[in-house]
Amino acid sequence: MTNAHDYAKTHKEQFLEQLKDWVHIPSISTDPTRKGDVQRAAEWLAADMRRVGIENVEVLPTAGHPVVYGDWLNAGADKPTVLVYGHYDVQPADMEDGWDSNPFEPVERDGKIYARGSSDDKGQAFIHIKAAESLLTNGGKFPVNVKFLIEGEEEIGSEHLVTFVTANRDRLKSDICVISDGAILSIDQPAIVYALRGLVYMELEVHGPSQDLHSGGFGGTVHNPAQALAEIITALHNPDGSVSVPGFYDDVVPLSDEERAELRKTDWAVSDWQAATGASQPWGEAAYTLRERIGARPTLEINGFASGFYGTGAKTVLPAKALAKISCRLVANQNPEKIYQLVRDYVAKITPPTIRSEVRMIHRGDPALVELHIPAMQAAISAYEKGWGKRPVFMREGGSIPIVADFRRELGVPVILMGFGLHTDGAHGPNEHFTIEMFYKGIDTAIHFYEDVAQIKS
């Protein structure tokens, strides 16, 4: 065991307290009223990076929320350069969504820290900052050259990051990219994700009368926009759970028998799925296993909708309009822009003349597939074996990190996805939490990763 591993062990309580400070800042990137908090979270991170010895730390403006950059490039020209990506912005969170405690007042319960961003992604990004602290404070040296790029717009589609990456190709030049923003299979079974779904997020709005009407005075003669929206939503799926939009599956590459066999090793038992979701029984494409439905099949999901009156009590209104948020998760070889056009055109086609409808694209991201047999992947496998104590399995992930495809395209680097969270962490939902033991193990594993990457011959 090296000194950096010892340092991480003896400082773990301080690391946790620092993380609590950071997640306390409500850096909700989608909420314009939180712009100041997003900036504050960026500056908090930059200050900590400077404190631990990372060099050239800057909070760099973009057309949206800023990017935090820092590097340490003194390992020598013969050593690889690792680009570490993460994000400091978080999803919205309100007590009324079902939180048991204030989402921005972190609390420890049962070995977990509960707070928005504790797992996605402040906690996981912070693992790399604390690995850096352990390496730099204790010996003053990183085994590889390293560049940190922690952004503030991941939860709203990394809208301005591609522009930033393209404009800073030289500064970001590197050999390997590592991202910790995901889940492993269980606390006892590490996993490396080699496929990510893409995303296209849309808004579907239906308009009927020019204003809300009295449901008694007009009901029966007006095509109710809430009902019309429900009718359109219903028509977006077939009874078998597949998406009914014509052409939706055209570009999906069929899974090989070999890959299906590999994925079957990690498939969910229905009882585990029930425990994780709280739902009564699975739904979806029966020809595919649960893992395949999530990792290897595209979906169309209703993220929410609203129309008319939905408060306590009664209001006999016939609403003027209805709005739904709809997102499609996409798999490798599917194009978000094309899928948006297919959905838009299909909705236009099935919209009856009694109402008006509109589908708007909010944001999008490409799907990604990562190479399995490269040295950087071997370093990640080795790091998990040493830091976590078990060889990782390979998985397809249902979520989206669009920047993975962007990094490959813009910087030409392989992207290694070393998740340190769990699917049960409640990312994007109420009571998001991070298992403290996984935070500590993650720091140790990250130090091993940097040490193992240093062995790669260029």
Site for its own copies in 414-453 (CB under 8 A): 423, 426-431
Query: Among 7, 22, 114, 201, which residue interacts with its own copies (rule: CB under 8 A)?
Result: 201
Query: Among 156, 368, 411, 417, which residue interacts with its own copies (rule: CB under 8 A)?
Result: 156
Query: Among 191, 199, 411, 416, which residue interacts with its own copies (rule: CB under 8 A)?
Result: 199
Kindly state the smallest distance separating residue 413's Cβ from its own copies, in Å. 23
Kindly state the smallest distance separating residue 102's Cβ from its own copies, in Å. 17
User: Would you state the structure tokens that stand for residue 42, as one six-digit string?
Assistant: 């960026």
Do 421 and 191 meet the contact criterion of CB atoms below 8 Å apart? Answer: no
Dihedral angle sign, alpha carbons of residues 40, 435, 402, 32: negative
Query: Among 324, 403, 405, 417, which residue interacts with its own copies (rule: CB under 8 A)?
Result: 324
Residue 231 lies near its own copies (rule: CB under 8 A): yes
Residues 239-278 touching its own copies, rule: CB under 8 A, are 273, 276-278
Kindly state the smallest distance separating residue 190's Cβ from its own copies, in Å. 17
The stretch near its own copies (CB under 8 A) out of 11-19, 78-86, 308-316, 341-349 is: 308-316
Q: With CB under 8 A, what is the number of residues at the site for its own copies?
A: 98
State how far the alpha carbon of 327 is from the alpha carbons of 53, 297, 299, 303, 330, in Å: 41, 14, 8, 7, 10
User: Would you state the structure tokens that stand for residue 233, as one six-digit string?
Assistant: 């939503």
Residue 238 lies near its own copies (rule: CB under 8 A): no
89 flagged as catalytic: yes
Q: Which stretches within 220-266 are classed as H helix?
A: 225-234, 257-264
Kindly state the smallest distance separating residue 406's Cβ from its own copies, in Å. 17
C-alpha to C-alpha distance for 86 and 68, rounded to whole angstroms:
10
Of the candidates 309, 310, 312, the residue with the CA atom closest to the CA atom of residue 320: 309
The residue among 172 and 300 lying less far from its own copies, judged by its C-beta, is 300
Dihedral angle sign, alpha carbons of residues 417, 421, 423, 428: negative
Per the residue annotation, which of 37, 48, 71, 89 is the catalytic one? Answer: 89
Query: Among 12, 65, 87, 329, which residue interacts with its own copies (rule: CB under 8 A)?
Result: 329
Q: Which residues make Cβ contacts (< 8 Å) with residue 98, sequence separation at least 6? A: 429, 430, 431
Query: Among 49, 184, 193, 233, which residue interacts with its own copies (rule: CB under 8 A)?
Result: 233
Q: Which residues make Cβ contacts (< 8 Å) with residue 151, sequence separation at least 6? A: 65, 67, 68, 85, 86, 87, 88, 89, 158, 161, 164, 403
Kindly state the smallest distance separating residue 9's Cβ from its own copies, in Å. 31
- The SS3 of residue 414 is coil
The stretch near its own copies (CB under 8 A) out of 255-263, 311-319, 407-415, 440-448 is: 311-319
Q: Which residues make Cβ contacts (< 8 Å) with residue 68, sequence separation at least 6? A: 42, 45, 46, 49, 57, 58, 59, 60, 88, 148, 149, 150, 151, 152
The amino acid present at 25, given as its one-letter code, is I
The residue among 28 and 129 lying less far from its own copies, judged by its C-beta, is 28
203 flagged as catalytic: no
Per the residue annotation, which of 154, 155, 175, 425 is the catalytic one? Answer: 154
The residue among 176 and 328 lying less far from its own copies, judged by its C-beta, is 328
Cβ count within 10 A of residue 246: 11
Query: Among 327, 334, 357, 382, which residue interacts with its own copies (rule: CB under 8 A)?
Result: 327
Residues 350-389 touching its own copies, rule: CB under 8 A, are 353-356, 362-363
Of the candidates 112, 128, 121, the residue with the CA atom closest to the CA atom of residue 4: 128
Place of tokens 């071997």: 378
Residues 15-74 touching its own copies, rule: CB under 8 A, are 30-32
Query: Among 2, 137, 215, 244, which residue interacts with its own copies (rule: CB under 8 A)?
Result: 215
The stretch near its own copies (CB under 8 A) out of 62-70, 245-253, 287-295, 441-449 is: 287-295
Do 430 and 122 meet the contact criterion of CB atoms below 8 Å apart? Answer: no
Kindly state the smallest distance separating residue 157's Cβ from its own copies, in Å. 7
Terminal C-alpha separation, the chain: 26
C-alpha to C-alpha distance for 22 and 68, rounded to whole angstroms:
14
Do 366 and 233 meet the contact criterion of CB atoms below 8 Å apart? Answer: no
Query: Among 36, 76, 98, 246, which residue interacts with its own copies (rule: CB under 8 A)?
Result: 98
Cβ count within 10 A of residue 271: 8
The residue among 70 and 399 lying less far from its own copies, judged by its C-beta, is 399
Kindly state the smallest distance separating residue 46's Cβ from its own copies, in Å. 25
Query: Among 305, 374, 386, 410, which residue interacts with its own copies (rule: CB under 8 A)?
Result: 305
Query: Among 314, 373, 457, 458, which residue interacts with its own copies (rule: CB under 8 A)?
Result: 314
The stretch near its own copies (CB under 8 A) out of 41-49, 90-98, 101-109, 367-375 is: 90-98
**Residues with catalytic roles:** 89, 154
